[in-house]
Structure 1
Amino acid sequence: MNPDENDTDPGLRSLKKQRTRQAIANTAISLFLARGFDQVSVAEIATAAEVSKPTLFRYFASKEELVLHRFADHLGEAGRVVRERAAGLTPLDALERHRLRGLADRDPSTGMTANPQAIAFLRLVYETPSLSAHLVDYLDADTRALTEALDPDGGMAARLLAAQYVAVRQVLARAVWTRLAAGQDAEEVGRIAAEETVTAFALLRDGAAARGF
């Protein structure tokens, strides 16, 4: 095969772009964790990643996105859980099972992780005002996706329940991270998190039942 043919292979080009994107993001996050988000410039990131600033911005629209793109993997997840739930499960039943499974599996999206770098990453997000502010965009997108899964017509009851669920999920995740960051035993944190999840869903379920969710 002519080596130049690889340049015209759409699959190879896509793979190269994914690797470049990941390399830029990994470089940025390493710098942010070492020095702080506000102390690192986009120019420094581009230099460290060995790309130009225009190239960096082709992959990431903003400095904040260099960090928050990691949340994109879970974007719309709540909506998918509701749409794909087993027969006989209410939406909240499915969401509760999903979160409890995530806690048991130590999925970082639940705040539950034994990885020191993951804990540091969440600290970066939670304790950097501009990142916390931009995270709201991801939460809004999740809320819209869950609303549509609950009610394709986007009724007010579905919108309110989706907003409540997303808010509760964030409160629960941050509580888990706060305990882990303070050095509490992971097994104990997991036990408390599971109990708090059950309590939170009981509160949500009381209001949702009257509306058929």
Structure 2
Amino acid sequence: MSGLRERKKERTRQAISEAAVALFLERGFDQVSVADVAAAAEVSKPTLFSYFASKEDLVVHRFADHQEQSADVVRGRTGGEPVLEALRRDFLDGLARHDPVTGLNDHPQVLAFTALVYGTPSLAARVGAYTARAEQSLVKALREAPDLAPPHELTAQLLAAQVTATQRVLALHNWRRIRQDGRTADDLHAEAAAEAGRAFDLLARGYEDS
């Protein structure tokens, strides 16, 4: 019974979020009220806030799905795979499957959603909070990695910050080239993979010298 209840709650949460994003894309984030979203989703405002702490979270909660991704990659390595090679592999895998988190996705709804997020200051700031939590999760995973010489505390923090920033910059660069230059994800894939490879090469050389 509890599993059924959880699935129902997740469907309700998803329906509220989808209703919100549709309204925001149609009218603009600042032109839509929480009451508008509740009405569109056919729930009360108290019910809406029981699922989402803020208006911004109606949109950017999707970033929470990736909050532990890099940390999980570090923890899930096998065969002595170096940390940065594992993170490079994960990003390249994301490019190959056109994961929206890599920016290499040309679906109109994905492009519009990204434009909404980064074109709305309060949403972009909220994404920054998720990014900061992802960075701290990666710091913790680096500290705990049994195959690493215990990284100096500052080294772990610097590496996590650099990896997180690299992933963000690569993703936004890919998104802008698709949106502004009219490139397709398939057409851009080889270039995006090469650029990601160079970016992780730079990180690896810096880490080896630390």
Between structure 1 and structure 2, the one with the greater Rg is 1
Unmatched segments (≥5 aa) in structure 1: 1-8
Task: Tell me whether 1:99 sits opposite 2:91 in the alignment.
Answer: yes
Q: Distance in 2 between matches of 1:192 and 1:132?
A: 27
Q: Distance in 2 between matches of 1:81 and 1:11?
A: 28
Question: Aligned-pair distance for 1:114?
Answer: 2.8
Q: Distance in 2 between matches of 1:52 and 1:147?
A: 40
Unmatched segments (≥5 aa) in structure 2: 145-149
CA RMSD across the alignment: 1.3
What is the identity percentage for the equivalent residue pairs of Structure 1 and Structure 2?
51
The CA deviation string for residues 64-90 of structure 1, in whole angstroms up to 9 with x for no partner, is 000011111111100010111122311
- Is this contact kept in 1: 2:111–2:179, CA < 8 A? yes
Q: Distance in 2 between matches of 1:89 and 1:37?
A: 43
Mapping for residues 1-213 of structure 1, pairs under 5 Å: 9-152=1-144, 155-182=153-180, 183-211=182-210
The CA deviation string for residues 150-188 of structure 1, in whole angstroms up to 9 with x for no partner, is 113881100110001101110000000001112123233
Q: Distance in 2 between matches of 1:14 and 1:186?
A: 35
Q: Distance in 2 between matches of 1:187 and 1:48?
A: 36
Equivalenced residues, count:
203
The CA deviation string for residues 33-85 of structure 1, in whole angstroms up to 9 with x for no partner, is 11111111101000111111111000000000000111111111000101111
The TM-score, its normalising length taken from structure 2, stands at: 0.93
The TM-score, its normalising length taken from structure 1, stands at: 0.92
Instruction: Report the equivalent of 1:4.
Output: none
Q: Distance in 1 between matches of 2:199 and 2:169?
A: 10
Higher RCO (C-alpha under 8 Å, 6+ residues apart): 2
